Amino acid sequence: MKKSLDELIKELKEKNIRLTHQRLKVLEYLVNNRTHPTVDQIYKALKKEVPSLSKTTIYNTLNYLSELKLIKVVAIEDNEARFDGDTGDHGHFKCNSCGKIYDLDMDMDKCIPENLNGFRIDEKIVHFKGICKRCLSR
Amino acid sequence: MKKSLDELIKELKEKNIRLTHQRLKVLEYLVNNRTHPTVDQIYKALKKEVPSLSKTTIYNTLNYLSELKLIKVVAIEDNEARFDGDTGDHGHFKCNSCGKIYDLDMDMDKCIPENLNGFRIDEKIVHFKGICKRCLSR
DNA sequence: TTTCTACTTTGTAATGATTACAATATAATT
DNA sequence: AATTATATTGTAATCATTACAAAGTAGAAA
């Protein structure tokens, strides 16, 4: 589900969403930076290219795009949100040593317990935290 | 792993943690209210019994108790933390209609993907969101 | 029991992420 | 090029959480 920028633009057009410079830049950033960036990281990076950019725009844009299901919020930190251009089902691992957030290709449906029979599941979140292999081997 | 208040007090004594009135009240509240309360809910409830209580104390106490692994933070809302007296491995389901947070008895180790071989896992978080059975049948 | 001291609680102020809002600007249609 | 609904921008507000210093207290020692 790692959509290209072109695919994302196509989806915007289909939904009659205006292709503003700022929206395209945010999408482009998320497509090119698969690092689960924070609002501030996105803002600082794009501010260089778009000097007029406002942080409120980043918030508005990210909120709107996630409402449209074009991106996902990753709530793995307790103080600030991170964003992911990959909207397919997958989990995350956060290394508490280097801070890196790994993507985990996995079948999240296997995690659904029987207790939830009869429940409608709209969102599945699987996060792990610890120390990654790379950091352990030092 | 639903410890009684007595078991929790015993653990505090073993670790030479002072048994302050406020700490005992917070633990008692979490043992008696398995609803994953917020800081504000705990504060407002205990303020009635302990009029001198400060919200900072609730924060200090909850942070300290979770460092000691006597309670757990449940980060299932995006704006505020919730707390759980049950420190055993289990998942959560949040109903977006009634707001209730259900506990899910499940084997979370079955969710660990192979990608994480060689990683040290300290924390496992499994959350689902949607509409619960009760709300659906209306 | 009283004293002592390190640890805890309390209240206020600060922080930091996020949102509200109104003025200005712009995408896309006519 | 004109129009208009929608988006961007900057500033101020909100709200959960933390920092900090003064006052209070649990628990050990005398």
pLDDT band at A123 (very low <50, low <70, confident <90, very high): very high
Q: Is the CB of A100 under 7 A from strand C?
A: no
Mean of pLDDT values over A83-110:
97
CA distances from A58 to A21, A61, A74 (A): 12, 5, 16
Interface test with A, best of B74, B126, B131, B137 (most A CBs within 10 A): B126
Residue A128: its pLDDT value, please?
A: 98
Mean of pLDDT values over B71-97:
97
Residue A1: its pLDDT value, please?
A: 75
The domain made up of B91-136 is a member of CATH 1.10.287: no
CA count, 13 A, side-chain hemisphere, B13: 6
Mean of pLDDT values over B1-25:
96
For domain A5-84, give the fold.
Answer: Arc Repressor Mutant, subunit A (1.10.10)
Q: Confirm if A19 and A61 have CB atoms less than 8 A apart.
A: no
Mean of pLDDT values over B5-23:
97
Q: Confirm if A87 and A7 have CB atoms less than 8 A apart.
A: no
Using CB atoms within 10 A of its CB, is residue A138 exposed (0-12), middle (13-18) or buried (19+)?
A: exposed
Residues contacting nucleic strand D by the 7 Å CB criterion are A 17-18, 20-23, 50, 52-57, 60-61; B 18-21, 38-40, 55-56, 59, 63, 79-81
Q: What is the dihedral of CA A55, A60, A61, A67, to 10 degrees?
A: 150
Residue B1: its pLDDT value, please?
A: 74
Mean of pLDDT values over B1-22:
95
Residue ranges of the domains in chain B?
5-84, 91-136
- Sort out which chain A residues have CB atoms less than 8 A from B126's CB and list them: 111, 125-126
Whole-number average pLDDT of chain B: 97
**Tokens 């707001």 belong to residue:** B99
